Structure 1
Amino acid sequence: MRRVPLPLVLVCGALLLVASCGWSRAADSDEGRAPGAPTGVTAAAGSATSVHVMWNAVTDGPGVRTYEVYRGTTKVKEVPGAQHMVDVTRLRPSTLYAFTVQARDTDGRLGPPSRAVRARTPAMAAADRSAPTRPPRPAGRPAGSRAAQLSWGASRDDRGVASYDVYQGGVKIHSVGGNQTATVVTGLRPGTAYVFTVRARDAADNLSPASGPVRLTTPGTDDGRDTAPTGFTATTHRAGGAYYIDLSWIAPRTDGVITEYQIQLDGTAATSLVWGGTPPPGRARHSFYVGEAAGEEHRVRLRARLPDGTWGGYSAERTVTTGG
């Protein structure tokens, strides 16, 4: 069985709409041409000296290796094909900038630029370059099988702490006000090991170093069945001389919104689907490119990243054959 390259990440959101991201079939592919122009490009000032640029994944062609971000005609960032957002820094306050994005495929071909998007940086406020101190004395304990009680000492900041962010495994899962040094994190799984950290944020968006880790395990057992997508189906279709795998599933029921899935193809993590906003209700659908050869057999399944920052159980595995 021949392996084929896959697009690594698909970013979806209420303002980011592409053919294969609207849960319709992916665009026709042609390995003989460069990738298309990125769509859904947005730019928003993050501070007086930075702009956050975001775009949709390019899904046509043999696969995107990198994206290049331009400020006017100057290339300012280059990111891997799995990444679809970036902060452009070292800008001037009170300045209007125009940004475009181009995709470079795995064969080195550079596609056309996206439409230009503009963002104006605000005026520089009174300087505040001092981040809060690391939250001291973090502690925690299970509060039943699906929650944890966390606490920490107050951070110090020259202008005051605006909020505290709680992370689990590198994923931000909770936030509380700057006058609060304890919280209950809910929506956890029984019998699951967690590592929490806390970071303080001030009004100028300066972020403290992470606190020491809080390690705990919720009581009970969890075999992952309740966290796996259900009703999972997989079929194939042919378009433009290429084959695509069509997936359909129902999201697991959780205490929060699921915005990310990981697709496993032939035993290897192949593609991530990430919504930038609220995912569509009901049955989800997604198609992705797997090559031009007929008669190839593939095994596919997927799992969700749960609101607690952990991966849920895998769906049932399905086997499909291109052209079958």
Structure 2
Amino acid sequence: MRRVLVSVTASLLRFVALCGALALVASCGWAGAGEEDGGGVPGAPTGVTATAGSATSVHVMWNATPRAEVYEVYRGTRKVEEVPGSEHMVDVTRLRPSTVYVFSVRARAADGRLGPRSRGVRARTPAAVADDRSAPTRPPAAAGRAAGSRAVQLSWSASTDDRGVVSYDIHQGETKIHSVGGGQTATVVTGLRPGRSYSFTVRARDAAGNVSAASAAVRVTTEGRDDGRATAPTGFRATSHREDRAYFIDLSWTPPRVDGEITEYRIHLDGHPATSLVFGGRAPRDRATYSFYAGKVSGVTHRVRIRAMLPDGTWGGLSAERTVTTGTGR
């Protein structure tokens, strides 16, 4: 598994100087992550929808499926796309205008086993338009409200276009998270967290794929409170070891169970953010480990905590705090 260290505090710079930013990954105390246990064959993905995005593309979406490492997207009987288990949507492109297509999705486990195929959903691409370079107008009157603690309802007024609006794309920050048909001016975004503020924008798209400017940002705070316990890493442990005349702090934890993959963590040392850790490739789901430089002095005590960057772009709750002293192994 490849890992990349993306930020380091001044207290850790000596370690970087000793090993080098790239050598760090290979030889400076990075421990391995826990392995997938398989956990059985994934079920059939649910909530599959397909919406034409242009004359030559269709946006396919589905709900998260437990134990899915990869999703396979089919057009009829042919597999046309693969996406990682942390993603639940894809734009299928290079289609023909004025054509009806049937899409389905299968989930694949970490050991390669495929689950059953979802139900098939139909989408019809609109007719092609010749030499259309004019984008739709910016969607006006965008608004939103909380729909409970884990969803928001968004609405907007229709955009105009000389050839007609085919779809609307919903963005959370810079990321496209949803798409609806051009005749729809409202939608519900789910999978959010209680008591959190989110910002959304809407863009209109025509049959030629021209995209409008973003609507005004819609800022919505979900209902309720989130004390962080449901999204905090659990089973957090911290020990120390000595290597090459220096001391290292070794961490291990169980990632929080959330909808999607967690690839980034932030480590807090002595009450302050110390470093961010990003997993490349397959991020651990069952048990994760990490080791970092703590100096050359024995008997120094540190307080350590960790938190995860959740798939919705917000930080999860902090783990329990652990105390570790260099040179004692605990």
Q: Assess if the C-alpha contact under 8 Å between 1:191 and 1:219 holds in 2.
A: yes
SS at match of 2:230: helix
- 1:172 lines up with 2:175 in the alignment: yes
Q: Deviations over 1:27-77 (max 9, x none)?
A: xx684575546xxxxxxxxxxxxxxxxxxx86878xxxxxxxxxxxxxxxx
Contact preservation (8 Å) 2:135, 2:210 = yes
In structure 2, the residue corresponding to 1:286 is in which secondary structure? strand
| Native 8 Å contact 1:196 1:214 kept in 2 | yes
Distance 1:220 1:298, change over 3 A: same
Q: Identify which of 233, 256, 267 aligns with 1:229.
A: 233
Post-superposition CA distance 1:135-194 (Å, at most 9, x none)? 432211222221111233455678977762421xx4637132563543322122223333
Which residue in the other structure is 1:183 paired with? 187
Using the aligned pairs only, state the percent identity.
62
Secondary structure, aligned partner of 1:248? strand
- 2:265 match: 261
What corresponds to 2:250 in structure 1? 246
Deviation at 1:265, TM superposition (A): 1.4
Query: Is the Cα–Cα contact under 8 Å of residues 305 and 321 in structure 2 kept in the other structure?
Result: yes
Taking a change above 3 Å as real, the CA distance of residues 173 and 190 of structure 1, as seen in their structure-2 partners, is farther
Q: Which moved more, 1:145-154 or 1:222-231?
A: 145-154
Larger radius of gyration: 2
Q: 1:232 to 1:209 in 2, by over 3 A?
A: farther
User: SS of 1:226's equivalent?
Assistant: helix
Question: TM-score, normalised on structure 1?
Answer: 0.54
CA contact (8 A) 1:164 1:178 kept: no
User: CA contact under 8 A between 1:242 and 1:292: conserved in structure 2?
Assistant: yes
Contact 1:163-1:200 at 8 Å conserved across structures:
yes
2:2 matched to which residue of 1? 17
- Structure 2 residue identity aligned to 1:186: T
Deviation (angstroms), 1:286: 1.4
Aligned-residue CA RMSD (Å): 3.9
Shift, 1:301, TM fit: 0.6
Shift of 1:19: 9.3
For normalisation by structure 2, the TM-score amounts to 0.53
Whole-angstrom CA distance in 1 between matches of 2:319 and 2:264:
14
Count the aligned residue pairs.
217
Aligned to 2:92: none
Structure 1 stretch 146-155 or stretch 192-201: which is displaced more?
Answer: 192-201
User: Contact 1:165–1:200 (CA<8 Å) still a contact in 2?
Assistant: no
Q: Match for 2:199: what amino acid?
A: V
Counterpart of 1:149 in 2: which secondary structure?
strand
Give per-residue Cα distances to partners, 1:180-222, cap 9 Å, x unaligned.
5433221222233333334567899987654322222222232
Q: 1:299/1:205 Cα in 2 relative to 1: closer, same or farther (>3 Å)? A: farther
* Residues 132, 207 of structure 1: 8 Å contact kept: yes
Q: Which runs of 5+ in 2 are unaligned?
A: 7-14, 29-130
* Distance in 1 separating the partners of 2:280 and 2:228: 25
Q: 2:276 — aligned with what?
A: 272
Moved more, 288-297 or 302-311: 288-297
CA distance in 1, matches of 2:294, 2:272: 14
Whether the 8 Å CA contact 2:4–2:277 is kept in 1: the answer is no
Read off the aligned partner of 2:197 and give its amino acid letter: A
CA distance in 1, matches of 2:256, 2:218: 27
Matching residue's letter, 2:242? R
Q: Which amino acid aligns with 1:231?
A: G
8 Å contact kept, 2:198–2:220 = yes
Q: Are 2:196 and 2:221, in contact at CA under 8 Å, matched by a contact in 1?
A: yes
**What CA distance in whole angstroms lies between the structure 1 residues aligned with 2:261 and 2:235?**
18
Task: Report the counterpart of residue 143 of structure 1 in structure 2.
Answer: 147
Q: Output the CA distance in 1 between the equivalents of 2:2 and 2:147.
A: 40
